[in-house]
Structure 1
Amino acid sequence: MTPASAPSPPPSPPPAPPASLPVRVLTLADLTACLDLAAEHGWAREEHKWRLLLTAGRGVGIDAPDRPGTLLATLVLTSYGETHRCIGMVLVAARFARRGVGRHLMRHALDSCGGAAVFLTATANGRPLYERLGFAPVGTVTTLRGTFTGAAPAPAPAGTVLRAATAADIPAILAYDRPVFGADRTELLTRLPAFADQILVAHAPGGRLTGYAAAWPNETTTVIGPALADDQPTARALVARLAAAAPMPVRFDVDPRHPGLADWLRANGLTGDYVCTLMVRGAPDLPGDIDRRFAPLSVALG
């Protein structure tokens, strides 16, 4: 006789109505729970990045009613002065997907934003929710990864000097970043020296800052970002120098509004076709100057 098959596990009980689920602020004490929820979605356990997000931004979450000590959902809201907010790391446990939990958490975050413009980077799964909440697509970003070969050189413009940044460069970096990024991210960038493995600055003859870029470790890759520069040749030179020194394969999130940049990265060994959508609510476009903004610090931070 064939033994009876084991009964299927019962489905997770539906949570309380989404609007009644309490939302609370997340701290570093919730780091493991955040990593566990990300891993459930197939994401890497990006502890280094999550530490920055939970300290430089405001993480909020919902405790799982069926599994004490775990999280049902997360979201990180990062403020840039009074004018802009960025939303990232919107995650809902798969067993409670499509029950209004993500919408409830997003509404909670948006209610705290006042009149500030809000932007985010949406996956294909998340985009329909964000559109229903009033976000509009304004562009895309493609994630490329690989070992940087240097096969396609990127010389700096004549007279430009690239060097490692020091503490004395921070005021100039902040002054350069503000109009290019389009909002005040002092709170975030002052943490960059402790977060990044490398920060480079570019100077024109006479000492004027013409760009800066950073590289930071993220599990199995070295992420290059932010990268801001007066022009693409300077940006490429900064990226090439950082990538050549990276101890792991490189990740770069490239915006197609920079013609030729993705082709140059691919010629240097990076590959990938994972595309996300840049979306904005309360403004016609992302802040700042796209002609000089070549890479975000992270897609979760802009």
Structure 2
Amino acid sequence: MTSTPPAPISPADLPIRRLTLADLPACLDLSADRSWPREEHKWRLLLTAGQGYGIDAPPGDPAGGLIACLVVTSYAADHRAIGMVLVAERHARRGIGRRLMRHALAECAPAAVFLTATDNGRPLYEQLGFKSVGAITTLRGPFTGTLPAAPGSTVRPATAADLPGILAYDLPIFGADRTELLTRLPSFADHILVAEAPGGGLAGYGASWPNVTTTVIGPVLADDLATAQALIAELAARAPLPVRFDVDDRHRELAAWLRASGLTGDSRCALMVLGAPDLPGDATRRFAPYSVALG
């Protein structure tokens, strides 16, 4: 039986509200509506470390529930990330996503905002003023690789005593203060590793976390490619599921090594920024995001 499409309604008439962790089931249902996986572990982090915004179904919509959402993650006063932008299929292409994005951008101002965009979402973001500054490719599969060379640093599991060092190492490389997210990493990730430089101090760190059918490797920050590879290989060796890795186009040698190590894929997203010339930080030492929704 074919359902009757909901009656047209002006997006301006739909109230926007702040989401809480109580909205987790509704966010998962909306993800499933758009054929996204039900990523409960990730959504729980996003709704507690960030601020979700949503629009509920209007009166007369027989399906009800949440019909649009996104999450804003704040990095101190200067930067914001927007992720998980979703509109229910039955309400798509009616301006609802645009209304929600405009609301979020007003809440973010005057901070610079970055996001990753699919081909479907990119035209809207361009109309809102975002500029493309690069792209990432998502690779997946069982990791079969080995290290091409000794990294010159020692990789070991992180301890609680490493957290201040990780925060200090992360700030100039990521380019914005993400203390709120990184202090949640021990409870979110399956594994956190650090790379110690021969002369002492950190030369990098990385983490992996579970996400439905894959183990996501990220964030990974390191002084050089060899150290990043050492962290990635060790995290992949500990992964109980096939690996997912989101690799920036600026790391072509890393991408080639990952593909030679068994990972495949051609799903791509654009990296986009509003209010700044590029993503903050040092891209040469930023090898994997925490998540594409977070940077």
Identity %: 71
Distance 2:130 2:161 in 1: 39
Q: Deviations over 1:184-242 (max 9, x none)?
A: 00011000000000000001113210100000000010000000000011001100000
Match of 1:34 in 2: 27
1:189 aligned partner = 182
Seen in structure 2, the aligned counterparts of structure 1 residues 191 and 154 have a Cα distance that, compared at 3 Å, is farther
Partner of 2:144: 149
Deviation at 1:9, TM superposition (A): 3.5
Residue in structure 2 matched with residue 121 of structure 1 by the alignment = 116
Match of 2:53 in 1: 60
2: CA distance, partners of 1:133 / 1:90: 14
Give the structure 2 partner of residue 48 of structure 1: 41
Question: Is contact 1:154–1:240 with CA below 8 Å preserved after alignment?
Answer: no
1:223 and 1:36 map into 2 onto residues whose CA distance is 22
The reply to whether residue 108 of structure 1 matches residue 106 of structure 2 is: no
TM-score of the aligned structures, taking structure 1 as reference length? 0.95
Which letter does structure 1 place at the counterpart of 2:101?
A: M
Q: Which residue of 2 aligns with 1:203?
A: 196
CA distance in 2, matches of 1:177, 1:153: 24
Q: How much does 1:114 deviate?
A: 1.8
- 1:12 is matched with 6
* Counterpart in the other structure of 2:79: 84
How far apart are the structure 2 equivalents of 1:144 and 1:237?
Answer: 18
**CA distance in structure 2 between the partners assigned to 1:154 and 1:144 by the alignment:** 19
Residues 68, 98 of structure 1: alpha-carbon distance in 2 compared, 3 angstrom cutoff = closer
The answer to whether the aligner puts 1:250 opposite 2:243 as a matched pair is yes
Larger Rg: 1
SS at match of 2:235: helix
1:171 matched to 2:171? The reply is: no
Give the deviation of 1:256 after TM superposition.
1.4
Question: What is the CA-CA distance between 1:51 and the residue it aligns to?
Answer: 0.1
Return 5+ residue gaps in structure 2 as ranges. none
Q: Aligned partners of 1:108 and 1:67: how far apart in 2? A: 26
TM superposition score normalised by structure 2: 0.97
Cα distance between partner residues in 2 of 1:266 and 1:232:
15
Q: Do 1:154 and 1:237's aligned partners in 2 also have CA atoms closer than 8 Å?
A: no
CA distance in 2, matches of 1:293, 1:144: 17
1:231 to 2:212 alignment:
no
Q: Residue in 2 aligned with 1:3? A: none
Report how far residue 20 of structure 1 moved: 2.1
Q: Which runs of 5+ in 1 are unaligned?
A: 1-5
Deviation >3 Å, runs of 4+: none
| Cα distance in 2, alignment partners of residues 241 and 123 from structure 1 | 30
Q: What's the CA shift for 1:156?
A: 3.8
Q: How many residues align?
A: 293
Structure 1 residue 154 displacement after superposition: 4.0
Asked if 1:132 corresponds to 2:127, the answer is: yes
Alpha-carbon distance in 1 for matches of 2:160, 2:150: 23
| 2:241 partner letter | M
Inter-partner Cα distance in structure 1 for 2:125 and 2:175: 22
SS in 2 for 1:291: helix
Quickly say closer, same or farther: Cα 1:67–1:231, change in 2 above 3 A: farther
Match of 1:284 among 277, 280, 292: 277
Could you give the per-residue CA deviations for residues 252-301 of structure 1, whole angstroms, max 9, x where no partner exists?
Answer: 00011013111100111000000100000000000000000000000000
- C-alpha distance in structure 2 between counterparts of 1:238 and 1:113, whole Å: 34
